[in-house]
Amino acid sequence: MVLLDVEMPGMDGFTVCQELRKNDSQVPIVMVTGNDDMASVEKAFTVGASDFINKPIHWGLLPHRINYILKASNAIMLERGVQRMMGQILDTIPVRVYWKDESLKYIGCNQLFAKDAGFSDAKDVIGLTDEDLPWKNNAAMYHEAEKNILEKHQSHTDANILHTDRKS
């Protein structure tokens, strides 16, 4: 964790924070200042601060804030690790996997599905719909089936929907 004053000799805290974020996006950075203005607060969060504390520092409260920030940081790092692991699992299995939101926009998929959609990176599928992809001619059929699945809380297997024909 880094406690960083906004006003320092040589390089200001905003610049230091920005440079730290270039090298390590996970370390919690708490900006501290006597400047009680919203512009400083906004700038601190814009350059990557995790939290902002005004001076004078309330010394009784500081350990609690630091504890909370460290717990939140650890939870974020754990979640990122789980996401990486799930991504590796999804990209290893030999089936196409995707998930959509209620408006039937893609919010994720594995690499095999992305490749079928014509993309080298699964992130490129996020936000698209079936109308944006090579199987757009079958989009209405997929949407009807998927809305049914969402309404009845069924899996694709339960609904007998196969999407292996999404290649065209």
Q: What b/e string do you get for 34-50 counting C-beta neighbours within 10 Å, with b at 16 or more?
A: eeeeeebbebbeebbbb
- Flag whether pLDDT at 51 surpasses 60: yes
Rg for the chain (alpha carbons), in Å?
A: 23
Give the residue from 61, 50, 62 showing the smallest Cα distance to 1.
Answer: 50
How distant, in Å, are the alpha carbons of 129, 141, 157, 160, 166 from that of 135? 10, 11, 20, 19, 5
pLDDT digits (tens, 9 = 90+) for 54-106: 889 999 999 999 999 999 999 999 999 999 999 999 999 999 999 999 899 99
- Flag whether pLDDT at 111 surpasses 80: yes
Give the residue from 43, 60, 48 showing the smallest Cα distance to 24.
Answer: 48
| pLDDT score, position 4 | 92
Q: What is the mean pLDDT of residues 30-57?
A: 90
pLDDT digits (tens, 9 = 90+) for 151-168: 887 666 544 454 545 554
Token reading at 113: 């599905």
For the whole model, what pTM was predicted? 0.60
pLDDT digits (tens, 9 = 90+) for 122-157: 999 999 999 999 999 999 998 888 888 888 876 665
